[in-house]
Structure 1
Amino acid sequence: MSGQPPLRFGNAPCSWGTIEGFGQGIPYDRMLDELKETGYEGSELGDFGYMPTDPERLREAFLERGLVLLGGFVGVPLTEKEEHGPGEAHAVRTAALMAALADLDPGWKPLLVLADAHSRDPVRFQRAGRIRPEERLEEERWQTLALGIRRIAQAVGAAAGLETVFHFHAASYVETPEEIDRLVELTGIPLVFDTGHYLYGSGALEGEVVLEGLRRLMPFVRYVHFKDLDPRVAERARREGWDYKKAVGQGLFCELGRGAIDFGRVARFLVDQGYRGFVTVEQDVLPGMGTPKESALRSRIYLRQVTGW
């Protein structure tokens, strides 16, 4: 639409303590109210069942607040072939629900955000942020993972008319830059580029690594998550051997502008590369951590300061 800035900002339930596999936070209606009040234009769905699963109720919740549904996260154990069928069913159910809100904004349709289910493998869970080459997948399991992605993306498109994008994620089998490269080589699937997960998965602490990753992967980037990373927490997590959940609980992903990543530079790079549409802010927190509304507001103020939008 004319007059809109090149980047529009949403937020997600994980910033309010509803984070896949780790707990339920603030009720969805309060979360959406606070998201709107702090200056965001859209939200992701969160865990299936967190928000209403009746399409009309969900649609009304977004319409009455003037919000856009940006996408829905589905984690599937993609290296386990027997999980592809249940994963497809879950993804199609999620996409069918989102499709009822696909007309809320003329410039955006919800995306099915697919990931390899994280924190299931004890080694990957324990060593998130410091994965060694010998802990990566063998070729047969890479092929199984790619098969699952193609199957689910095709089913989502056929059943709901929505696009599937892939979210690399700490404590999953697609975490490191090398693993992301292998994923796109095998599948060509569009990516959600998550700045915080990319930096943590790289094993580095410098925000410049995020820009390097974007430069390399930009042809595949369909959607973006702005997540900051506290380098002090990341360094300690790696040094002391924290598992992924403990690192998140200690504030690994901090408010925007308080960590290693310069989001003004990231935003300018995205716009220069022709990216338009929504960016979703995420500050992964566990239930009871911090003050979600106030943190969301501070991140939004920071984004206005560094982008002008």
Structure 2
Amino acid sequence: MSAVPRITAGNLCLGSAPDSWGVWFAEDDRQVPYTRFLDELAEAGYSWLELGPYGYLPVEPQRLADELAARGLKVSGGTVFGALHRPEQWDEMLTHVRRVAALTAAAGAHHLVFIPPLYRDEKTGDFTEPPELTAAQWAGVGEAADRLGRILLDEYDVRLVVHPHADSHIQTQPEIERFLNATDSRWANLCLDTGHVAYGGGDNVDLIRRFGERVGYVHIKQMDPEILAQVAAEKLSFGEAVKRGVCVEPPAGVPSPADIVPELAKLDAELFVIVEQDLYPCAPDVPLPIAVRTREYLNGLGLNGDPTA
């Protein structure tokens, strides 16, 4: 088998996230301590990280800065869950988002990855609300995203990038496109999660080619097609799919990073490309070797730790 040809991807900056260490929650006894995550992230050869669930890493700016500086790490962006389709919860949601945005800005980052809430419980798989939004709710989503994005940019110099997610109302390609068409690119754009797009049956390359100017940030991951077939046949929740190993390391799974990276490299933008392999829950010794192999593979595609590398 011939080697994967190296491409020029000087506009792309590689990093990773707590998710790749099996971290989904601020606190959970099945997750590794944050100090181990940071130690192993640096050991695996990454210099950039996304903050992950608020409260997993220290939320005091100076303490966080000290922990990162001790390991030579830098922050690419913050992460937050929030509901754009629940106007009655706007004030509560905004208060939480402000906390995360303030920490993100204090860490020197300028992107906030906003993940819609799941309509199925992450642990039990139970439905917590209908899987489809009404037309009125969709209209509210666009208005809320623009309003939130403007607040974040004006007050924190942080850009809102909304993250499609399995078992959420922004999951399939039609839903992603509907969100993009309902929002203003000045205030709200897309965190392209390649694995979740594939999970929802979408075409990453098509999205990049047609909506490349709306891609503000990237999560790179791959899904096992056999388990995706089980998801469809058995109507599995995302949590159950992850337990079965739906999220796999490259070069296995879909989409192939070798197809995605060249398309991203054509975009006229500098982008963080953050590795996210959903592993919750996993044994503590599992993530590090995967993280090393993943970095080496992506380095081979031209993805490095700095856009100019």
Alignment TM-score, normalising by the size of structure 2: 0.86
| Larger CA deviation: 190-199 vs 212-221 | 212-221
Deviation at 1:221, TM superposition (A): 0.4
Matched, 1:264 2:258: yes
2:59 counterpart (44, 53, 57): 53
Aligned residues: 287
**Aligned equivalent of 1:29:** 35
**Aligned equivalent of 2:171:** 175
Distance 2:290 2:59 in 1: 28
- Asked if the contact 2:133/2:169 (under 8 Å) is kept, the reply is yes
Post-superposition CA distance 1:205-246 (Å, at most 9, x none):
xxxx32122212212001111111111111112112211110
Letter in 1 for 2:301: V
2:296 counterpart (298, 301, 309): 301
**Aligned equivalent of 1:130:** none
1:70 counterpart (66, 69, 76): 76
- Asked if the contact 1:91/1:112 (under 8 Å) is kept, the reply is no
Deviation at 1:148, TM superposition (A): 2.3
**Aligned equivalent of 1:194:** 193
- Asked if the contact 1:126/1:242 (under 8 Å) is kept, the reply is no
More helix by share: 1
1:140 counterpart (120, 136, 141): 136
Cα distance change, pair 140–121 in 1 and its aligned pair in 2 (3 A) = farther
Q: Which has the higher contact order (CA 8 A, sep 6+)?
A: 2
Distance 1:140 1:216 in 2: 26
**Aligned equivalent of 2:15:** 10
**Aligned equivalent of 1:235:** 229
1:184 counterpart (180, 183, 186): 180
Deviation at 1:119, TM superposition (A): 3.5
Letter in 2 for 1:214: I
Distance 2:87 2:273 in 1: 32
Letter in 1 for 2:84: L
Letter in 1 for 2:22: G
Letter in 2 for 1:49: G
Matched, 1:279 2:289: no
Matched, 1:116 2:88: no
Cα distance change, pair 21–174 in 1 and its aligned pair in 2 (3 A) = farther
Letter in 1 for 2:16: N
Alignment TM-score, normalising by the size of structure 1: 0.86
Identical residues among aligned pairs (%): 33
Distance 1:226 1:293 in 2: 17
Deviation at 1:6, TM superposition (A): 3.1
Letter in 1 for 2:149: A
Matched, 1:216 2:222: no
- Asked if the contact 2:197/2:204 (under 8 Å) is kept, the reply is yes
- Partner of 1:98: helix, strand, or coil? helix
**Aligned equivalent of 1:38:** 44
- Asked if the contact 1:88/1:155 (under 8 Å) is kept, the reply is no
- Asked if the contact 1:96/1:159 (under 8 Å) is kept, the reply is no
Which residues of structure 1 form unaligned runs of 5+? 103-108, 128-133
Deviation at 1:157, TM superposition (A): 2.5
Root-mean-square deviation (Å): 2.3
**Aligned equivalent of 1:255:** 249
